[in-house]
Structure 1
């Protein structure tokens, strides 16, 4: 089913990565205007809009510069991860991002922008062709239009949270001249958000409650994404309305075991609200339908643990619990005997702990003297798995989850707390913690005992204050979603990015010399700069983000 949605028909649509023709909207090839409006070709246009979701928008193999998982844009620039790899010179531009020394010319800043706006371009092209085609099945047309509104909302949302001030582009923008005349300041921040909200609202009104192909969004996914838009704007009552609709639909539920969520056999399971569908060995060029954006963290290739996206010591310490199983809020280095949240060993690899079915993790990862002994684990697979590609580009078929049900529950908890309903907040936080408590723990290799001192429980008594409730909520999001690309964006929307990151740098640079010159500047580093190429092409229409 994945292959149907995301296989890009290259004979119909080709994309230039950064030339002047990048945003030209006319189909390339031998198709006449009449031919392109044939239903089968319009459907291929729809498929092409989906195909960019994985960050792969041209025939280069460097989708790791525009990863759908945002491992560099959301994790490495947070307190959860180091860049990793073969030292600071390996993908040095991501090292610059990590220490907040980036500028508008950094490759990843441009590649991510291009990937997102290529997705917007394709969604808009599909919308125009759907509207123009007289032969397309009328009963299906409205659904496909809703899917394209959903995708256009997604691509704009991603751009908004990464770059701040963006151009919103709809289907009326046709030529590259039209595009380059657009400004990222002609709409206010609120107006930009309203445009994105409108796409998800329109999608929610039309999309069905079920889809036969799991890669296509449903009504509840659109409502969940709308809730996420409201969350970023602190529209708490609206968050409550939309999340309640999703929860009351009873379409979703938490899986029994936290670790099972990240297995390919379950990656369209009961917990997944919307996911990017990955597949391998499906006939696509160079297996680009797999997790190509994450290939630098693969457990294969020329290294035992490729070495990128390395857990920070600060993240490891965050999983420490008290004797009664609650977060310890203790940033002292985790010791072997310390009580810990069991999600730690499902999230990352630690020495002496079984690593999937392969062995006890005891190897030395790349540049351990720089990045420490731990490696990421959550989106990796055993090298014995049929869903792992044991040859170049060493990728997997593990979907990337844009929204899962635990997100919705914790968004509902956050909105409750922010509106002073602390008990409802505690209820939803506990739902997530109880799954971690009651699910499967990592065992020793012989299966006879827990691999570590796992101690976790729910919050048994009421929160003493709103501040205490918010601290619990924010910690829960960190532990539940570590290395899923969300942490930095949470810190920014909470308004604590500068405080958290500079405190993190102050402590971590004592352990990791590569952070010696790292510093976060409030009012600047909350957003990435607008790529210099886009500034130049706009001939003054685009406005650079503050302080770049």
Structure 2
């Protein structure tokens, strides 16, 4: 449940510890208080909250956090087969259009801002760790807990950097001067870098309480869940499964009964959420920048919302929700015909013409869509908040207080399933896939406007017979991740870690170029586009220590 006394409510008291420069190498703190004062416990809390404040991608008191959003909608959704950029045509935020075509270059604003935001988070976590260690004034138990929190945050920021840019400089709390921040991005091997990130989460696990002391702070099992994710990315299947088992056995989490309820702000620190970026509106923060500022361009238009119209669902994604007579995915990428049945998550996830939009008492219509001719008739829905809700801001910047979920329990269950399948236990994998599908099967469906019947023909069931083999089991797992997590910023990174990005996206573009001509120049290049380029300004400032990613030269 949304709690205004959570860690986010402390941001109004936050100390601004850093200037936000155009280079993470610039490590110049603002001298607002003396060194002796900063080591006092009450001021140390300011340094800690300062590190948390970067989680939402907002780093410079500007409204352009949509270029560095926590949700990664531009880095994980638009560059996948799940979404088009949207907006007012290809020239509107054209750099994101270049990203969806895979014409990304090292000077693109989003590539630069995401890097800066994440390294700002690293800097703040490093400073907080160093200050806590130097202070000696904070009560020992509390100091250990706060150190664990900062290791968790630093691990998160580095995980994001690793999955987006791959080859990154690693700097820890021993860096004090600006000179200490001039570090090569190739000095650590891939395994060594993953090891550094895992070390942060292991330290977090050792120092955190069983459960979070208040919304916004991680507990012990959030750190273990993140370790499961790291092992998954390393394809260390046995370690991933063991970590996932520990989290499951902790009893800390469970699936909410209804898929839709997961995405209601009043529930977003609920039983399914393992760790989330906290959002709030009307909390006294300047310009409501503690709200979902990174996602503010998603407003779908129509009579209730501004017509920003970004993150538009692809036809390919709509097709993925089709089900057969057994209630299982069809998977044929053919446009649905009249009478087609769907996984009920389709109308909780995206807006389709003729289907009610949230609780507004009105059907979504194609006319809501900005630039309908370019991007088609569908709109975002899953992470939109009802315009009637007190958690939605009706004035600029039109943000809401729905948290962004970094890890939810459904994630953990499907990681467990994936690791089990990869180690040969197909039945265990089927069990955990079915746990996620069972929720969708038994949960609520979207009804028509007068509430007398379902808004479309919904049919979903679990996998009732054993998988034919490992390949079939993995195909079911991968489809389930897509259906469950569409538009949560994960799809592209899943395709990359599965080594399927080239295959899936090439097939996607071959069809979509006929449906959506704005994608006519799109092409995924293997060995290049799995990762984004290192920002050019970092290479220019890096004293020849920063090496560009392959094939971006």
Q: TM-score range by the shorter chain?
A: over 0.9
Structure 2 equivalent of residue 12 of structure 1? 15
Q: Contact 1:321/1:339 (CA < 8 Å) preserved in 2?
A: yes
Q: Deviations over 1:148-185 (max 9, x none)?
A: 000000000000000011111110112222112x0010
Structure 1 equivalent of residue 468 of structure 2? 464
Q: Deviations over 1:34-67 (max 9, x none)?
A: 1111111101000000000000011111000000
Q: Contact 2:301/2:309 (CA < 8 Å) preserved in 1?
A: no
Structure 1 equivalent of residue 280 of structure 2? 279
Structure 2 equivalent of residue 120 of structure 1? 122
Query: Within 5 Å, which residues of 2 pair with 1:114-513?
Result: 114-180=116-182, 182-299=183-300, 305-358=307-360, 359-364=362-367, 365-513=369-517
- Offset of residue 23 of structure 1: 3.4
Q: Deviations over 1:406-450 (max 9, x none)?
A: 000000000010011000000000000000000000001111100
Q: Secondary structure at the match of 2:377?
A: coil
Q: Contact 2:85/2:97 (CA < 8 Å) preserved in 1?
A: yes
**Structure 1's 10 and 211: CA in aligned 2 closer, same or farther, altered over 3 A?**
closer
Q: Secondary structure at the match of 1:355?
A: coil
Q: Secondary structure at the match of 2:463?
A: coil
Q: Secondary structure at the match of 1:510?
A: helix
Looking at structure 2, the residues matched to 366 and 40 of structure 1 have their Cα atoms a distance apart, in angstroms, of 48
Aligned residues: 546
Looking at structure 1, the residues matched to 26 and 435 of structure 2 have their Cα atoms a distance apart, in angstroms, of 46
Q: Secondary structure at the match of 1:428?
A: helix
- Offset of residue 2 of structure 1: 5.0
**Structure 1's 347 and 362: CA in aligned 2 closer, same or farther, altered over 3 A?**
same
Q: Secondary structure at the match of 1:401?
A: strand
Q: Secondary structure at the match of 2:322?
A: coil
Q: Secondary structure at the match of 1:509?
A: helix
Instruction: Structure 1: give runs of 5+ residues left out of the alignment.
Output: none
Q: Contact 1:300/1:383 (CA < 8 Å) preserved in 2?
A: no
Q: Contact 1:345/1:442 (CA < 8 Å) preserved in 2?
A: yes
Q: Contact 1:21/1:176 (CA < 8 Å) preserved in 2?
A: no
Q: Deviations over 1:258-284 (max 9, x none)?
A: 000000011011100000110000000
**Structure 1's 360 and 20: CA in aligned 2 closer, same or farther, altered over 3 A?**
closer
Structure 1 equivalent of residue 536 of structure 2? 532
Looking at structure 1, the residues matched to 4 and 224 of structure 2 have their Cα atoms a distance apart, in angstroms, of 23
Q: Deviations over 1:280-313 (max 9, x none)?
A: 0000010000000000002469965420000000
Q: Contact 1:221/1:274 (CA < 8 Å) preserved in 2?
A: yes
Give 2:31's match in structure 1, choosing from 28, 41, 48.
28
- Offset of residue 235 of structure 1: 0.3
Structure 2 equivalent of residue 102 of structure 1? 104
Q: Contact 2:24/2:116 (CA < 8 Å) preserved in 1?
A: no
Q: Secondary structure at the match of 1:505?
A: helix
Q: TM-score, normalised by structure 2?
A: 0.97
- Offset of residue 26 of structure 1: 3.2
- Offset of residue 471 of structure 1: 0.4
RMSD: 1.4
Q: Contact 2:68/2:114 (CA < 8 Å) preserved in 1?
A: yes
Looking at structure 2, the residues matched to 270 and 512 of structure 1 have their Cα atoms a distance apart, in angstroms, of 40
Looking at structure 2, the residues matched to 92 and 39 of structure 1 have their Cα atoms a distance apart, in angstroms, of 46
Deviates more, 1:133-142 or 1:289-298: 133-142
Q: Deviations over 1:61-120 (max 9, x none)?
A: 100000000000000000000000000000000000000001000000000000000000
Q: Contact 1:75/1:484 (CA < 8 Å) preserved in 2?
A: yes
Looking at structure 1, the residues matched to 146 and 24 of structure 2 have their Cα atoms a distance apart, in angstroms, of 27
Instruction: Structure 2: give runs of 5+ residues left out of the alignment.
Output: none
Looking at structure 2, the residues matched to 4 and 42 of structure 1 have their Cα atoms a distance apart, in angstroms, of 18
Q: Secondary structure at the match of 2:308?
A: coil
Looking at structure 1, the residues matched to 404 and 526 of structure 2 have their Cα atoms a distance apart, in angstroms, of 30
Q: Secondary structure at the match of 1:23?
A: coil
Looking at structure 2, the residues matched to 179 and 133 of structure 1 have their Cα atoms a distance apart, in angstroms, of 23
**Structure 1's 22 and 280: CA in aligned 2 closer, same or farther, altered over 3 A?**
farther
- Offset of residue 28 of structure 1: 2.8
Looking at structure 1, the residues matched to 471 and 321 of structure 2 have their Cα atoms a distance apart, in angstroms, of 20
Q: Contact 1:230/1:239 (CA < 8 Å) preserved in 2?
A: yes
- Offset of residue 12 of structure 1: 2.9
Structure 1 equivalent of residue 551 of structure 2? 547
